[in-house]
Structure 1
Amino acid sequence: MKKYKSIYFLVFLVAVLTLEPQRLWSQRLPLPSGKFSIGHHQLEWVDINRIEILAPDNMMRRLLADIWYPAENVTGLPVPYLDTVMINRALGNKGLQSLLGANGAARIRSGEMNTHGREEAAFDHRLRSAPVIFFSHGMGMITQLYTAQIEELVSHGYVVVALSHPYDAWLVSFTDGIQIPFERKQRNAAGNTEEQHIAYENKRIEWWAADIRFALHQLEIINNMNADTIPFAGHLDLSRVGAMGHSAGGRAAARACQLDARIKSCADQDGVAMMQPFYLNPDGIGMKQSFLLFERVRNVTLGEADAASMGMTLPALNALVDSLRRGKRNALAATGGAYHVLLRFDSSSHMSFSDLPLLQAKSELESAAASRVLQITCRYTREFFDKTLRGASSTLYDTNKRLNYIDLVEWYPKARNRK
């Protein structure tokens, strides 16, 4: 009898040891794969040259920047994933659940989701300076929901400047107590058709691109300061600057690249309007920088019902789609060299570039799948910047080796008229 009890105990122990890593995985963001620890510092700026058109009192444009950098060690207070007290105070419990879902809200409140960063840690002395990447969230999102991507880049020696775009983020909270929720009144007044929605968003993207350029100017000032209170001052390599974003933020990053030659490389994650990641300039130039369009696209055969729902004939609808696809290819070809990467549609969602699928997972299986997809998006994005900002070789782009969940890696050479 004792022999059987021992066998049962061993079976139980193996089961516990097998399940424990999965339980922990579901409670944490993916562990960053780089060698650097992560520090965090927050800055607030006021752009005195822009009046905030969405503010009721015509105040100047304010901007919040969460700056993540390679850190000397892990001393300092842990960086909280999300300030639920602040969110509940501003938008209530229902507001938190509308953003995160019931599962995500519960995980955040319980402390299951934690960052790997520390507040105000010293800059890592092994790096004299680090390349800088600006990050813009999706429309109605917040930067905290992209922490996994940000941490992965920082762990490989990048400084990431995650901007919160007021009135277009779900909530932006400043230290003086002013809290700016997502602006809906003027958005709704702009119209409900797809064309009106895109027109309104295009105007907002111009503001976001201006935010990126303004923030870059502020970093140039900080980098020339002897500021002991700013850990990364003097350590920013502003000759190697990139911009990236998700959804509308990806389009904003692309627009900033078109407008500002100081930005050397740009990544757009699933940010297109009518299939276009950005619009060509009147002279037919997209941008002179390297570009990555990382998206998920459903390949479907259109039918008569699809055409009828749009008030079109099927030949006319197919002609429109073909025209839009040509427009996308023309845009990618009108750059300083572009990669087009397709994330497998059936294994992902538009939010797979964020932490949301992890937060909202309803089972260990869903959590594990969401984590794997997120790690893939992180790696492809990071290796793109390694290649274009650091000149490093990349197994994913140099050999066209595709990892799981990736359906396409396509290269568009530098446009002939680029110098």
Structure 2
Amino acid sequence: MWPCTPGAEHGHVTEIITGPQMSPLEVLALLGAAALVVARWLPPAARPRVTIAAGAVLVLSAIVLAVAGIRWQMLPVLAGAALALPFALSPLLRRRSGRPAWRARWWLALPGSVACVGLIATGPVAAWAFPVPVFPEPSGEFAVGTRVLQWTDPGRPETFTADPDDRRTVVVQLWYPAQKSPAGAQRARYLGRTEQEARTVSEALARGVGLPGFLVDGVPRARSRSVFDAPVDGGGGRFPVVLFSPGSGGVRTQNTAWAEELASHGYVVASLDHPYDSAAVVLADGRTITSETSSSGDADKDEELAAGWTAVRAADLGFVLTRLDGLDRGEAADPLTGRLDTGRVAVAGHSMGGAAALQAARQDRRFDAVIDLDGYPHGPASPALDQPTLALTQAITPGTDPRYLPRLTEALDAGTATSYRLTVPGAAHLTFMDGPLYLPPVPTIVGSLGRTGSPRVVAAATLAFLDAALRGKPGDLAGVLRAYGDLTVHHPDGSR
């Protein structure tokens, strides 16, 4: 969700329609609460009707919200309404009982009204800061399907446990070009196959960064743009493959908007959960494996640990590519058999996942291209990269690890293929995943590109690179990339 520590016009993504960040029922409750406060200041003839109508709307919407599951952002709205309600109803009740109506003097009522309005206004502000994410509509020609697979590597022991018989298991989510689903088809839930899995993952991610889980309770409610188990596109073509590794503590779904955009343009994206590293991994048998990786506080020790974790991830990526190749060749009956072009494969990752992508490409020449999304290059710097590489980074500042840029530059300069480093103005480390869709729009956290701009820039730049590297699309790739930031081209002869 917000994993990791930073080392830190091809197509367009449709603009995200964020709306008011509140559901219609929540808006009704908000309007009812506000009307209760305003009723005190209306002309006498209008007060009873407005009070009764506002109270009815508020109570009914609050009851329905309580049954459906109320978000914490609505609690200050209801608190403000609860404070205003006795003062709004008291004159009506006294009038019906035959007693003379009593109203506080305006100079006594004004502070209370202001306090109630302040509480009520906190609701939409909180909903804006921590919304239910709205995913961008993919811009490609294909609809997008998704499914989850789980594979165990019989030849590799699980190094995070003491059981000598335990074997390394990874969970993989695929996004692929699909047939268009019927109108009204249920879209895939974000963060998990079920609501329970989504909440388990969301709470684990929040714990990982020291946040109370309720702050992001809107995230597991979200739906992406893909459909679970949608039929594969019937055109008969073969699709290039992109493997993805999330950041430290990250999960397979953390770049869903990016994956769906790539899939809509004819790629199959396979994103991995790395058990004992990802915040929470829910296995097919119902077990949940949580992260066991953590910083030691010692820079040298942490670098050694990170190099080890990166090596495990790189091995996971190679194993998944082997399984995808077997799936394509029909080792087991599968809708994607014969549709995966495992001769055209890119490996990608965010943060530590970017480091894992670099290592996987060094070790496994089946990977034809590399995408590093703001990832510090952990682990050995050799052998040299033979594949074209795109490294997207945020701006280098005095607060950036001083080793980051030299190590990244060394890796790109040593490569035997032309590579690119694109520094995206206004980006932060979490710009390169789904964080801008649901985290507070604070530039130091998610950058200043906005909830619309962040996924658009990242997806457009990576699509341009993939089309050139895997599909051999002609054109001025450097010129296209320069439209999205400050570009440095690393040529095999060492020139730039």
Normalised TM-score (structure 1): 0.77
Residue in 1 aligned with 2:421? Answer: 340
Identity %: 26
Q: For 1:186-244, what per-residue CA distance to the aligned partner results, in whole angstroms no more than 9, with x for missing partners?
A: x45xx32111111101001111111111111111111111755x221210001100000
* Counterpart contact for 2:422–2:481, Cα < 8 Å: no
Matches within 5 A, 1:28-47: 28-47=134-153
Distance 1:53 1:374, change over 3 A: same
The structure with more strand, counted as a fraction of residues:
1
1:375 maps to which of 427, 451, 456: 456
Distance 1:129 1:93, change over 3 A: closer
* Counterpart contact for 1:69–1:157, Cα < 8 Å: yes
Structure 1 gap segments, 5+ residues each? 1-19, 303-319
Following superposition, the deviation at residue 269 of structure 1 comes to: 0.6
Task: Say yes or no: does 1:167 pair with 2:167.
Answer: no
* Counterpart contact for 1:132–1:158, Cα < 8 Å: yes
Whole-angstrom CA distance in 2 between matches of 1:286 and 1:52: 28
> 3-state DSSP class of the match of 2:271?
strand
Task: Say yes or no: does 1:280 pair with 2:381.
Answer: yes
Distance 1:96 1:328, change over 3 A: closer
Runs of 4 or more above 3 Å deviation: 24-27, 90-104, 276-279, 299-302, 323-328, 365-368, 393-396, 398-401
Distance 1:301 1:249, change over 3 A: closer
Following superposition, the deviation at residue 163 of structure 1 comes to: 0.8
Q: For 1:263-308, what per-residue CA distance to the aligned partner results, in whole angstroms no more than 9, with x for missing partners?
A: 1000101111xxx476432xxx421111111111334499xxxxxx
* Counterpart contact for 1:380–1:396, Cα < 8 Å: no
Matches within 5 A, 1:237-256: 237-256=341-360
> 3-state DSSP class of the match of 2:324?
helix
* Counterpart contact for 1:241–1:262, Cα < 8 Å: yes
Residue in 1 aligned with 2:409? Answer: 329
Q: For 1:70-101, what per-residue CA distance to the aligned partner results, in whole angstroms no more than 9, with x for missing partners?
A: 0012256521112442355x589586465687
1:49 maps to which of 155, 170, 174: 155
Amino acid at match of 1:360: L
CA RMSD of aligned residues (A): 3.0
Normalised TM-score (structure 2): 0.66
* Counterpart contact for 1:139–1:168, Cα < 8 Å: yes
Following superposition, the deviation at residue 375 of structure 1 comes to: 1.2
Whole-angstrom CA distance in 2 between matches of 1:114 and 1:413: 42
Whole-angstrom CA distance in 2 between matches of 1:379 and 1:161: 19
Whole-angstrom CA distance in 2 between matches of 1:256 and 1:341: 21
Distance 1:413 1:238, change over 3 A: same
Matches within 5 A, 1:132-147: 132-147=241-256
Whole-angstrom CA distance in 2 between matches of 1:129 and 1:381: 20
* Counterpart contact for 1:51–1:60, Cα < 8 Å: yes
> 3-state DSSP class of the match of 1:293?
strand
Kindly tell me the number of residue pairs found equivalent between the two proteins.
Answer: 359
Residue in 2 aligned with 1:222? Answer: 327
Whole-angstrom CA distance in 2 between matches of 1:148 and 1:324: 27
* Counterpart contact for 1:396–1:402, Cα < 8 Å: no
* Counterpart contact for 1:74–1:117, Cα < 8 Å: no
* Counterpart contact for 2:311–2:379, Cα < 8 Å: no
Residue in 2 aligned with 1:17? Answer: none
* Counterpart contact for 2:310–2:378, Cα < 8 Å: no
Structure 2 gap segments, 5+ residues each? 1-15, 22-130
Whole-angstrom CA distance in 2 between matches of 1:134 and 1:60: 21
